[in-house]
Amino acid sequence: MLSIINQLTSQYEKGHGFRANLIFINSAHLELLKKQLSEPDIEILAQLIGMDIVLVEANSKPHVSWLQIPWKHSKTA
């Protein structure tokens, strides 16, 4: 799952000139991500991958996007 996320974000950044801040994944993809990162908490997962996670229908493929919203997981000094 991590390699897919890396590929999607790289392609998005090359095509748009900026990094995606949202990832759309289904519950099966979320479970794979939790297992790969050994982290059950979706909020911490979002911090680790640097994007907010949006859960979608089971038959959807993972995809990334950008939305002009303040990123709730960014750390401030």
What does the DSSP assignment read for 21-58?
-EEEE-HHHHHHHHHHHT---HHHHHHHHTSEEEE--T
Q: What is the pLDDT of residues 9-59, one digit of tens each?
A: 999 999 999 999 999 999 999 999 999 999 999 999 999 999 999 999 888
Q: What pLDDT was estimated at residue 71?
A: 59
Q: What pLDDT was estimated at residue 77?
A: 38
The pTM of the full predicted model, rounded to 2 decimals, is 0.82
